[in-house]
Structure 1
């Protein structure tokens, strides 16, 4: 199915985001007291982000402040940081619009770990957009992302604020991985892949209380928001207005189906965050004026293995996932899971899980002539906390240290559209990720 908008005509959001600042001019208010403020430094992810930012920032003289609502907890975090005596503490509330305005006016970049973002992130994004302050977070909440884009795109474009959501495991590996494979396709064949299937081949780790809280909040919002399911299933929900039609079908979080991957000779199963990551990849293509093509298709699932054993493993996981979604949608069982199963706010996986975790994805791209290209993206560390923390903080450092090398101006961007190879180089060197083409390996 082709797009219904005029061929070759950019949407209003595309035209707005096409604005560029001259090299070195990143916003009308470039001189700030801090280079980076980490908001939410006392949570499971925030504490680890603080340590990584302090260590990495000290290497290059980045001025850092940490913020949150509890001074005693913030002081405890600061006491354990490299160069802690030089790090400022900012105490305030996420719902205090005046405080958020003052805080964002003092820094060039804000990086936030405070979720659920639909509950605690809106005032901060509004303030960053108004003050020309660059921003990144680790949200996986597409409904909230859509709301922020609609509310603040014009302001961010005007002030020069670069707003970049989804800078954790959701959705940097998927977004930058697709960009990496497409760059290779163009370099080798002069054209991008017409379709890419992303297969999660290994994932070992846990998740934090913040992630659990975001999921719980999404289930609550679903009960009262009549548009929740429509937006969740719309594959182009994050694309600009007028650019929301294309060849991909609905994004279903846990469909009762498994499929056979002929390229990798194995069964696939639904991947829980596939719908979120896919929306980000499609937004990247749209706001960059379709470098992957207007009929580009993208799918993200997890891989099991071949044979009847692989089919049963995929189907068992699918049935369990569907049962969990049903349980989370029922208030009584949701409360039970919160009390007995899900991690609490501020909690996260153990140090052993964080350090020994890892993940791998294989992207299979098909050229217009049927030629198959494959890329592998691997990472060390638990994806939900350790790897996410490293990627998020490198995104913040990229916005701060590479500001004059980022080609795009103000607006709401994806990781690939805003930072692309700059961020890919950083997370390869400092966050334990690798990107490689699989040239000589059999399917």
Structure 2
């Protein structure tokens, strides 16, 4: 981050969108103007002022919140915004269409950045084009700071840190389980999914990014022993139950492998990770895992095939800007469990991590995760040897993010696995 004084600590870019409003709502509820100099950014001044009025009316501590007007396609306005703040916290997607100029502006200004993207084709592009520039500028460009991919990425980091501290060695494998959850889906999220599969249909680099488990690793290090994302029902030996493929694994697993690489392989070059959905034991579990696998396969096939992808976009998916209701957000929840297995001189061990929330995972909880990631960057609460680059939550922020998430009401736990619990 630049040492130059900035007017604002955080600008929420895209503040009038579904996710942006939730991030601004969380930050003004969790913090006061004494804690945080916040600004709201976007292209529609009228809507921004309406949002400011709503937040000020709801929060007695906040008398006013500055407004910064710009356009995602106007580099000059983005430069002015980036130069005015310590952190740009952006919810404007699809990032493939609207994210690159914001990243460029932040690197040019030496400004830290965080987002919600799960568009790994675009993340790969940012790595290849801008990682070295971000390192030289001292700008932390931290992608995937929401449900994609903080629970999996930070959960793995916490499990590995515990294993090293307690047993003197990291886990050689980590399993991430999407145990339960309920929440709505917005038009912005589905638009990002459409963009990802559309890019893969025409761009060989995007296709390779989806196929290679190590595609987000640094150039020259994009291979390894990990076979990659689970595609079939599997009887999980660690849990003793059947699991199905996770629709988020294609993003989260690659982010975790990048974390390991950027941190200098503290978990070893033979480290393996896999994310799945636990279903249950026995024949019932096998049948359920088979059904979930078929559903994930159909959804993937529908997005991969151009005509059905466009039909889903036009007639099934919500429009960008649409999202779950307040009631749906507050009635949602999720639990992600991370189990790491290792071998110490005294024998094998298993470490358990858990991250969960009593909010919709994609919006209510994601807003807290993104907002707290931005706070860590703004306050320089960083546990990382990396001072710049295209980073991940675990490699770019690290353990201090867990403390902020706990204070924000999320469950973040780690310890030795109690198999009887």
Q: How far has the Cα of 1:407 moved from its partner?
A: 4.9
| Aligned counterparts of 1:408 and 1:201: Cα–Cα separation in 2 | 32
Deviation by residue 1:407-436 (Cα, 9 ceiling, x = unmatched): 531222211112111111001111423223
2:106 maps to 1:131: no
2:305 maps to 1:305: no
Aligned residue among 54, 70, 90 for 1:92: 70
Give the match's secondary structure for 1:239.
coil
Residues 57-76 of structure 1 mapped to structure 2, 5 A cutoff: 57-58=31-32, 60-76=34-50
Aligned residue among 333, 349, 352 for 2:327: 352
What residue in structure 2 maps to residue 288 of structure 1? 263
Cα RMSD of the aligned pairs, angstroms, is 1.8
Q: How far has the Cα of 1:222 moved from its partner?
A: 2.0
What residue in structure 1 maps to residue 95 of structure 2? 117
Aligned residue among 17, 26, 29 for 1:55: 29
What residue in structure 2 maps to residue 384 of structure 1? 362
Aligned residue among 237, 258, 267 for 2:242: 267
Deviation by residue 1:131-189 (Cα, 9 ceiling, x = unmatched): 10010001111111111122222222122111111100111111111111111211221
What residue in structure 1 maps to residue 213 of structure 2? 235
| Aligned counterparts of 1:87 and 1:376: Cα–Cα separation in 2 | 35
Deviation by residue 1:45-78 (Cα, 9 ceiling, x = unmatched): 1111111122334164311111111112111111
Give the match's secondary structure for 2:356.
strand
| Aligned counterparts of 1:318 and 1:404: Cα–Cα separation in 2 | 38
Q: How far has the Cα of 1:98 moved from its partner?
A: 1.2
| Aligned counterparts of 2:101 and 2:297: Cα–Cα separation in 1 | 34
2:228–2:274 contact (8 Å) kept in structure 1: no
| Structure 1 residue ranges, 4+ long, deviating more than 6 angstroms after superposition | none
What residue in structure 2 maps to residue 200 of structure 1? 178
Aligned residue among 412, 418, 422 for 2:400: 422
| Aligned counterparts of 2:303 and 2:154: Cα–Cα separation in 1 | 31
1:406–1:400 distance in 2 versus 1, CA, 3 Å: farther
| Aligned counterparts of 1:247 and 1:311: Cα–Cα separation in 2 | 27
1:294–1:405 distance in 2 versus 1, CA, 3 Å: closer
Aligned residue among 414, 417, 420 for 1:436: 414
1:228–1:156 distance in 2 versus 1, CA, 3 Å: closer
1:279–1:313 distance in 2 versus 1, CA, 3 Å: same
Aligned residue among 394, 413, 422 for 2:391: 413
Deviates more, 1:370-379 or 1:170-179: 370-379
Q: How far has the Cα of 1:405 moved from its partner?
A: 7.0
1:376–1:437 contact (8 Å) kept in structure 2: no
| Aligned counterparts of 1:240 and 1:408: Cα–Cα separation in 2 | 14
TM-score (norm 1): 0.89
